[in-house]
Amino acid sequence: MGDKKVIAVVGATGAQGGGLVRAILNDAQAGFAARALTRDVGSEKARELARMGAEVVAADVDDPESLKKAFAGAHGAFCVTFYWAHFSPEKEIAQAAAMARAAKDAEVRHVIWSTLEDTRRWVPLSDDRMPTLMGKYKVPHFDAKGEANHLFTDLGLPTTFLLTSFYWDNFIHFGSGPKKGPDGTLALTLPMDDKKLPGIAANDIGACAYGIFKKGPEYIGKTVGIAGEHLTGERMAASLTKALGREVRYNSVPPGVYRGFGFPGADDLGNMFQFKRDFNDAFCGARNVEVARSLYPGLQTFEQWLARNAGRIPLE
């Protein structure tokens, strides 16, 4: 590892962090080394990262001491939280605080905080266009990340705030893909009307984060929003139709209907899509495809992502 700049990567066995680790390891001459943080260094995914050349270390974002050790001596730290593992905004905020503290103690030179908008800046709790959830949030998994931004600035950390986009991989892993309707036709159901949804291949988030670490100082103190493409539901359905060789139609539903779907987090996601729909110019404007491509020239379009992944989308 020697004189390489070590990047400590939280969530290294997951989507965003995994993309970053792979990007570092695939660019061995650039002077960076990957330190992969995991709760289980013996897991298959962790061992695979070690085989690829990453330094694998044990850490848990719920254990501040483990983070301190894992960040020690690092040049950079990639910080992400895991809302869907616990559905607790308060836990996310505590985890962000622990990561910020550990980065401060380690005197890390560059932090990337994977964040999202605090939607309450656009939709105050008094705005009843969407329900308030858990007593003080509109979009809990967004609001907590945005609220946590100040934890990094308050400590004077050299931070880049990375605004991410909807993963197209949700069509594979998160149950968001096309489903058969009563007439047997596949439908992509989203409460977005004719508005555009910024989306990205999850892997490319980490690859863009690597681009930010490489560019270094010019991104410190900045908010950078990334997407692979901004697409309407109609456009995504047309691309899915082409890639799957089966008709997929776009089924736009009101956000209230989406909130009522009943799966865990449906209310949070219904509010999220409504926020993206109602503040579409601001939301899309904050996520720049050209900036993302400048950070990672291999950035995938939706059709490129589908060419590699359509066969992995569960349809029945």
Ligand X SMILES: NC(=O)c1ccc[n+]([C@@H]2O[C@H](COP(=O)([O-])OP(=O)(O)OC[C@H]3O[C@@H](n4cnc5c(N)ncnc54)[C@H](OP(=O)(O)O)[C@@H]3O)[C@@H](O)[C@H]2O)c1
250 with 222: CB under 8 angstroms? no
The residues in 120-149 that bind ligand X, with binding defined as CB under 6 A, are 141
302 binds ligand X (CB under 6 A): no
In this structure, what token pair is assigned to residue 246? 């089966």
Token pair of 307 as six digits: 């060419």
Residue nearer to ligand X on the CB measure, 61 or 157: 61
Q: Give the nearer residue to ligand X in terms of CB position, either 46 or 313.
A: 46
Backbone φ/ψ region at 265: left (φ over 0), alpha (ψ -120 to 50), beta: left
Interface residue with ligand X among 6, 8, 16, 110 (CB under 6 A) is: 16
Distance in angstroms (rounded) separating the CA atoms of residues 12 and 58:
11
CA dist., res. 86 & res. 135, Å (int): 17
Among 6, 38, 113, 219, binds ligand X (CB under 6 A): 38
Instruction: Give how many residues touch ligand X by CB under 6 A.
Output: 26
Are residues 211 and 32 in contact, defined by beta-carbon separation less than 8 angstroms? no
Shortest distance in whole angstroms from residue 196 CB to ligand X: 15
Cα separation, 113 vs 73, in Å, equals 19
Rounded CA-CA distance 31/26 in Å is 11
Tokens encoding 315: 């349809």
Q: How far is the CB of 63 from ligand X (least distance, A)?
A: 8
Note whether 164 binds ligand X by CB under 6 A: yes
Nearer to ligand X among residue 65 and residue 84 (C-beta): 84
**Residue 90 engages ligand X in binding (rule: CB under 6 A):** no
Confirm or reject binding of residue 163 to ligand X (CB under 6 A).
no
Stretch touching ligand X by CB under 6 A, among 102-110, 160-168, 258-266, 298-306:
160-168
Determine, following the binding rule CB under 6 A, whether residue 269 of this chain makes contact with ligand X: no
Q: Does 60 bind ligand X (CB under 6 A)?
A: yes
Stretch that binds ligand X, among 10-18, 105-113, 209-217, 227-235 (CB under 6 A): 10-18
Site stretch for ligand X (CB under 6 A), options 20-28, 161-169, 181-189, 277-285: 161-169
Among 26, 27, 31, 43, binds ligand X (CB under 6 A): 43
Determine, following the binding rule CB under 6 A, whether residue 62 of this chain makes contact with ligand X.
Answer: yes
The CA distance from 257 to 125, in Å, is 21
Which of 13, 119, 252, 271 touches ligand X (CB under 6 A)? 13
Q: Which of 15, 99, 226, 284 binds ligand X (CB under 6 A)?
A: 15
Q: Using an 8 Å Cβ cutoff, are 23 and 229 in contact?
A: no
* Helices 140-154 and 89-105, axial angle in degrees (round to 10): 20
Q: Which of 88, 132, 170, 223 binds ligand X (CB under 6 A)?
A: 170
What interhelical angle do 302-309 and 233-244 show, nearest 10?
A: 30
Tokens of 84: 């869907």
Using CA atoms, how far apart are residues 290 and 275, in angstroms rounded to an integer? 23
- Catalog residues that contact ligand X under the rule CB under 6 A: 11, 13-17, 38-40, 43, 46, 60-62, 80-85, 141, 164, 166-167, 170, 174
